[in-house]
A and B are shown apart, each in its own frame.
Chain A
Amino acid sequence: DAGITQSPRHKVTETGTPVTLRCHQTENHRYMYWYRQDPGHGLRLIHYSYGVKDTDKGEVSDGYSVSRSKTEDFLLTLESATSSQTSVYFCAISETQGPEAFFGQGTRLTVV
């Protein structure tokens, strides 16, 4: 695997609590992405970043925020977790816009 680490790998949290997922890369790639994967929906883009402090929304950004204060770290925050945010979350990186993306191993989040 490319140098991408997601943490935690598994988390169970209660409705209404804040949750932060971390994606750390050692590849110095410019682009970083957060996706969620749900049965019947494939992968859907939540937010992405094209540089330090440069982020934009994806197709399912409501209820999520992100931050990128360093090239290597991209944080995804659920301000107040809901059961609909139970999902598997994947971080991905790419060197430039377009060419292949490298994925982390995923974080399984359960909101009870």
Chain B
Amino acid sequence: SQQGEEDPQALSIQEGENATMNCSYKTSINNLQWYRQNSGRGLVHLILIRSNEREKHSGRLRVTLDTSKKSSSLLITASRAADTASYFCATDVEGAQKLVFGQGTRLTINP
């Protein structure tokens, strides 16, 4: 079964609003990563947060990690039309040598 589960599966907001996506996972991790996928393209790495970190920022992105709840959230502030994409969380599972992805959140930014 999938290690990561994103919520919601789809999100539609107006340009300029903030978008929040959530990810839950099942086992202990070394780090959690977020990726973006534009339609028909490969995934692009956005941000990584280590298991001993609680919050991380990168430009308009803010990621939080709660290891006690096995959950993470990705906040995109001041959304733009170009942010329209699917967003995936990926966990680097402790003791394994692989990244496991969730099903993704499809984000649509309406002008």
Contact = CB atoms under 8 A, between A and B. Distances in A.
Interface of A: 1, 31, 33, 35, 40-45, 48, 50, 56, 58-59, 90, 92, 94, 97-106
Name the residue in B41, B92, B99 with the highest tally of chain A Cβ atoms < 10 Å from its Cβ: B99
A51 to B, nearest CB: 10
Interface of B: 2, 30-31, 33, 40-45, 48, 88, 90, 92, 97-104
B89 to A, nearest CB: 10
Of all A-B residue pairs in the complex, the 6 with the closest CB atoms, nearest first, are A103-B42, A42-B103, A100-B45, A43-B101, A98-B92, A103-B43
B99 A42 contact: no
A41 B42 CA distance: 16
A98 B42 contact: no
Contacts of B101: 35, 42-45
B41 A105 contact: yes
Contacts of B98: 33, 45, 48, 58
A104 B42 contact: yes
A102 B43 CA distance: 7
Contact of B97 (A40, A42, A50, A92): A50
Contacts of A50: 97
Contacts of B88: 42-43
